[in-house]
Amino acid sequence: MIAIIKYNAGNIRSVQNALARLGYSSTITDDPEKIRKADKVIFPGVGEANSAMQYLKEKELDELIRSLTQPVLGICLGLQLMCKFTEEGNTKCLGIFPNQVIRFKGNAIIPHMGWNDFVSNTGVLFNKVDPKSNVYFVHGYFAEPGDYTTAICDYIQPFSAALEKDNFYATQFHPEKSADVGSTILKNFLQL
């Protein structure tokens, strides 16, 4: 079973629809027992970090997510919440990745929205993905590059487009909205 974590963040149905197009069924849930028993867990989201973290804490999902041992994929806000801290609302996050999440600065349009090419990509999520591929983003905050960065894109400055540590994987971009490249990345995760 694939569990998609429900925590009052948007974009969950589009992830479920993308999985269905690939032939996988999934359950949207905030039930700790269902999440704990799932073969794979997806932690997607579009929204505001502080209120999302409050919901996770109220439901005791923050500790649960940290304790998971099966493959876990964070998407967009999910990636940011898996980091140590975000400037958005000065929020302490899950701390799975030690990265800091900061707001884009500069004269470019924020949020960064649309297609962007990889500067580099490595790691298991990018098996059979052309290093020059592009993927779809919608975000105003980003994880700084660090030891667990497996993909980098550049918008105003280089940022972590993907992270990987142990059984935890995360993408700042939306694989469910990134056409064939995104489908390949989702399949790579689902086949772990």
- Residues 26, 53, 122, 70: is their CA dihedral positive or negative? negative
Among 76, 83, 93, 153, the active-site one is: 76
Number of domains in the chain: 1
Q: pLDDT by residue (tens digit) across 106-126?
A: 888 999 999 999 999 999 999
The CA-atom distances, in angstroms, between 114 and each of 59, 117, 138, 155, 192 are: 33, 10, 7, 11, 28
pLDDT tens-digit map of 123-176? 999 999 999 899 999 999 999 999 999 999 999 999 999 999 999 999 999 999
Write the pLDDT tens digit of every residue in 18-54. Answer: 999 999 999 999 999 999 999 999 999 888 999 999 9
Q: Which helix (H) or strand (E) holds 121?
A: strand 112-121
> 13 near 4, Cβ under 8 Å?
no
Residue 72 domain boundaries: 2-190
143 contacts 83 by C-beta, under 8 angstroms: yes
H-helix or E-strand spanning residue 74: strand 72-75
Of these residues, 88, 93, 112, 176, which one is catalytic?
Answer: 176
Residue 174 annotated among the catalytic residues of the structure: yes
The pLDDT tens digits of the residues spanning 44-92 come to 988 899 999 999 999 999 999 999 999 999 999 999 999 999 999 999 9
Nearest to 14 by CA among 46, 41, 37: 46
In a 10 Å sphere around its CB, with 0-12 CB exposed, 13-18 middle and 19+ buried, how is residue 27 labelled?
A: middle
In the structure, what pLDDT confidence band is assigned to residue 11 with cuts at 50, 70 and 90?
Answer: confident
CATH code, 124: 3.40.50.880
